[in-house]
A and B are shown apart, each in its own frame.
Chain A
Amino acid sequence: MNPFRVAMAVARKDLRSEWRTRELVPALAQFIILALLIANFGFQINSDNTASIVPGVLWFALIFAGLVAFGRTFAAEREQASLEAMLMTPASPVAIFAGKAFAATVLLIACEAIMLPALALFFGTNIGFDTILAVFVATIGMAALGCLFAALVARVRARELMLPLLTLPLWIPFIIAGGMAVQTALGLPGSYDEAIGLLIDFDILFVVLTSLAARFVLDE
Chain B
Amino acid sequence: MSVIVANGLTHWYGHDLALNSVDLVVDGGEHMAVLGDNGAGKTTLLRILATALRPTSGVLEMAGLNAFREKRRLRHYLGYVGHALGLYPALTTSENLEFFCDLQGVNRSRVDAALEAVGLRAEADRRAGALSRGMQQRLAIARAILHEPRLLILDEPDASLGADAADLLTAVMHGRTVVLATHDHALANRLCPRTLTLRHGRSHGTATRLHIVK
Contact = CB atoms under 8 A, between A and B. Distances in A.
A21 B86 contact: no
A84 B78 CA distance: 14
B105 A91 contact: yes
Interface string A79-116: 01111111111110000100000000000000000000
Given A20-B90, A88-B52, A81 B104 contact: no
Nearest to B95: A16
A80 to B, nearest CB: 6
Nearest to A77: B86
A6 B87 contact: no
B102 interface: yes
B72 to A, nearest CB: 5
B174 interface: no
B88 A13 contact: yes
8 contacts: A16-B95, A20-B90, A83-B86, A84-B82, A85-B87, A88-B51, A89-B100, A90-B73
Given A6-B103, A80-B84, 5 more contacts: A5-B102, A9-B102, A20-B90, A88-B51, A220-B54
Interface string B65-83: 0000000110110101010
A86 B103 contact: yes
A127 to B, nearest CB: 33
Sort chain B's interface into a size bin.
Answer: 20 to 34
B207 interface: no
A17 B91 CA distance: 7
B47 to A, nearest CB: 9
Contacts of A158: none
A84 B103 contact: no
Nearest to B74: A90
Contacts of B127: 20
Interface centre among A2, A82, A89 (most CB of B within 10 A): A89
Interface string A113-141: 00000000000000000000000000000
Contact of A85 (B51, B76, B86, B91): B86
A13 B99 contact: yes
Interface in A47-87: 80-87
Contacts of B143: 85
Contact of B80 (A9, A83, A88): A88
B94 to A, nearest CB: 13
Contact of A9 (B51, B86, B103): B103
A1 interface: yes
B50 interface: yes
Contact of B91 (A1, A5, A6, A16): A16
